[in-house]
Structure 1
Amino acid sequence: MSHDIGMLVIRLALGLMLVAHGSNKVFGPGGLGGTTGWFESLGLRPAWLHARLAAATEIAAGVLLALGLLTGPACTAYVGLMAVAALTDHRGKGYFVFKGGSEYVLLVGLVAVGVACVGPGAWSLDDALGIETAGGWWPVAAVVAGAGAALGLLATSYRPPPAS
């Protein structure tokens, strides 16, 4: 039972954090326009599309993880999102987040892989519906498919501005 409570706490914390993060891209101070401008400055083309895709993916993956529904695919989305963030916004800035480094995105991505390893726990929709999308090969799938999706997105859409 303590494992199930622990997984509920982790899922709610990680899930609701990503819902808030994605919602901020849409409804935050700069709204989608500000997010689009930021993505443009990072080199994601077309920025208007990536701003919307990132926000929608973050909100959807966060809701799924919080509910413990389709946990493995949700964790895969987390890995992909965090890999793109690490390779665009946090790249070359070291480890610590207070210097813009990758500390935050690495932690979030690795916790998602951990959830894919152990599953969402009994207090989840996956458990209630008898859906098996965690454990077994799911952590490997989350890393491989998440990283693959991130690299595919970057190969097709990442055109960083020239270094000044």
Structure 2
Amino acid sequence: MPSARLEQPLLSLFRIVIGMLFACHGAATLFDVLGGPHGEVPSAGQWPSWWAAVIQLTGGALVLIGIGTRPAAFACSGSMAYAYFVHHQGDGLFPMENGGESAALFCWAFLLIAALGPGQWSLAALLNRLARRRKEVSTHLSNA
């Protein structure tokens, strides 16, 4: 078990990697980059492909940088649960049978991130530290 000292950095690294991979899926689908969409690029507004890719790109990017992490991760988790049960479950009971391994893994990874938060290496944590320092300086100057 990692020491308490490593928990926040490891959580942050996990969030960064999962967010980047998910954002790459969205970019590949929307813009035919990074190996392409593995099929046709969905037209704007096409259900569910285009909407899933938008969630992947924006949700993944938000999780990657660590701003709005919990709600973004929750939305990403839900989109992957939808993908698993609507698009994969009908092809077999287990993820190895139905091709839903990545949907299941992303679903649970994002649910973990939603529950645990972004960790210490996030844009939100940086902004909070800057706001505290600004408040400390302001308080110090007003008391002087």
2:122 matched residue in structure 1 = 124
Q: Deviations over 1:12-59 (max 9, x none)?
A: 21101111111121233665971449xxxxxxxx97243322211110
1:23-62 mapped onto 2 (5 Å cutoff): 23-28=27-32, 34-36=40-42, 48-62=46-60
Number of matched pairs: 122
Q: Which structure is larger by alpha-carbon Rg, 1 or 2?
A: 2
- Show structure 1 runs of 4+ deviating over 4 A: 29-33
Q: Which amino acid aligns with 1:104?
A: S
Question: CA–CA distance in 2 between the matches of 1:74 and 1:110?
Answer: 14
- Give ranges in structure 1 of 5+ residues lacking alignment: 38-45, 131-164
1:64 matched residue in structure 2 = 62
- Give ranges in structure 2 of 5+ residues lacking alignment: 129-144
Q: Percent identity?
A: 27
TM-score, structure 1 normalization: 0.63
Question: CA–CA distance in 2 between the matches of 1:128 and 1:62?
Answer: 19
TM-score, structure 2 normalization: 0.70
Counterparts in 2 of 1:91 and 1:52: CA distance versus 1, 3 Å: same
Pick from 80, 83, 89 the counterpart of residue 82 of structure 1. 80
C-alpha RMSD over aligned residues: 2.8
Question: CA–CA distance in 2 between the matches of 1:88 and 1:117?
Answer: 24
Counterparts in 2 of 1:32 and 1:55: CA distance versus 1, 3 Å: farther
Q: Deviations over 1:44-89 (max 9, x none)?
A: xx97243322211110010111111111111111122102211222
2:94 matched residue in structure 1 = 95
Question: CA–CA distance in 2 between the matches of 1:112 and 1:125?
Answer: 18
Q: Check conservation: 1:22, 1:58, Cα contact below 8 A.
A: yes
1:141 matched residue in structure 2 = none
